[in-house]
């Protein structure tokens, strides 16, 4: 069975290049993952041709069960509001984002899902210096809300919980989010695997969460990886990892992290 996590950068070919939804779908399918955790996924955004990227990627990967959870509704980084609620349609985004552009995380599964769970977290309360491509000088950027989705999956090897999450890039608040996230994951049926862009190095992730680090590999930036931001963590007798690799795909500034268990 194969698990994978990938921050898609909403399908950007390069930081200042176009979004290519067709290439995004092809790249996701090439991972051949039974459960695929995705971060930075668009729904109805002008920048990605108003696509429902989670639905398109589910179709491309053969994932019959999938869930999209927006962290925010609106158009980042300028105009947005927090997404609320965790009532979901059978195969789609929650009610808050049905008729508005949204941005969040998705979890796709080829195996049947018994239960879905959603966690939302507030953004960091501070601004940090940042720049956008071609924007010139640094400016003070606020953080965004964060989200996680968990699926209790019936696999050929038994039931397990798989989670996708995307945490803040702001040091300090991302540690608090990881503590909250790991406490929440512990309440779900075991064994548990937490996948996602946690914006923290592996030594910190393992120590703060108390989870087992299942793979160590540099994942960012994709053109010359220097640090691991994308992780696979296990808790409650997690499955044995037979093989773990990174994959550089045609899009995004992150490598995909792929585990065969």
5-19 pLDDT tens trace: 999 999 998 766 789
Question: With 60 as the cut, is the pLDDT of residue 94 above it?
Answer: no
Give one DSSP letter per residue of the chain, joined into a string: -EEEEEE-GGGBSSTTS-B-HHHHHHHHHHH--SEEEEEEEEES-GGGTT-BHHHHHHHHHT-SEEEEEEEEEEETTTEEEE-----B-TTS-BGGGTTS-EEEEEEEESS-EEEEEEEEEPPPSSEEEE--TT--S-EEEE---EEEEEEEEEETTEEEEEEEEE--SSTTHHHHHHHHHHHHHHTSPSSEEEEEE-SS-HHHHHHHH-PEE------BSTTS--B--EEEEEESSPPP-SEEEEE--SS-SS-EEEEE-
d(CA 80, CA 66): 24
Pick 131 or 8 by higher pLDDT: 8
Average pLDDT over residues 177-198: 98
d(CA 45, CA 107): 19
Per-residue confidence (pLDDT) for residue 207, from 0 to 100 = 97
CATH superfamily of 2-260: Endonuclease/exonuclease/phosphatase (3.60.10.10)
The rounded mean pLDDT for the chain is: 90
Per-residue confidence (pLDDT) for residue 228, from 0 to 100 = 98
Per-residue confidence (pLDDT) for residue 83, from 0 to 100 = 87
Q: Compute CA distances 242 → 29, 33, 260, whole Å.
A: 21, 14, 6
The pTM of this model reads 0.91
Per-residue confidence (pLDDT) for residue 13, from 0 to 100 = 85
The domain limits of the chain are 2-260
The number of beta carbons lying within 10 Å of the beta carbon of residue 71 is 25
The number of beta carbons lying within 10 Å of the beta carbon of residue 189 is 14
């Amino acid at each position: 069975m194969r698990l994978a996590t990938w921050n898609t950068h909403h399908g950007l070919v390069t930081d200042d290049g176009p979004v290519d939804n067709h290439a995004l779908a092809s790249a996701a399918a090439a991972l051949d993952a039974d459960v695929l955790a995705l971060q930075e996924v668009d729904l109805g955004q002008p920048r990605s041709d108003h696509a429902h990227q989670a639905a398109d990627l589910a179709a491309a990967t053969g994932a019959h069960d999938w869930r999209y959870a927006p962290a925010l509704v609106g158009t980042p980084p300028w105009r947005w509001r927090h997404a609320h609620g965790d009532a979901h349609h059978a195969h789609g985004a929650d009610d808050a984002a049905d008729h508005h552009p949204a941005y969040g995380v998705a979890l796709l599964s080829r195996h049947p899902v018994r239960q879905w769970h959603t966690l939302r977290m507030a953004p960091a309360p501070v601004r940090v210096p940042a720049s956008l491509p071609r924007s010139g000088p640094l400016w003070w950027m606020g953080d965004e809300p964060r989200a996680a989705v968990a699926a209790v999956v019936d696999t050929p090897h038994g039931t397990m919980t798989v989670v996708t999450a995307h945490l803040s890039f702001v040091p300090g608040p991302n540690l608090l989010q990881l503590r909250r996230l790991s406490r929440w994951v512990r309440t779900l049926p075991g064994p548990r695997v937490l996948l996602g862009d946690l914006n923290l190095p592996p030594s910190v992730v393992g120590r703060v969460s108390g989870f087992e680090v299942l793979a160590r590999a540099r994942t960012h930036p994709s053109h010359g990886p220097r640090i691991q931001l994308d992780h696979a963590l296990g808790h409650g007798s997690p499955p044995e990892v037979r093989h773990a690799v990174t994959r550089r795909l045609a899009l995004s500034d992150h490598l995909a992290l792929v585990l065969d268990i």
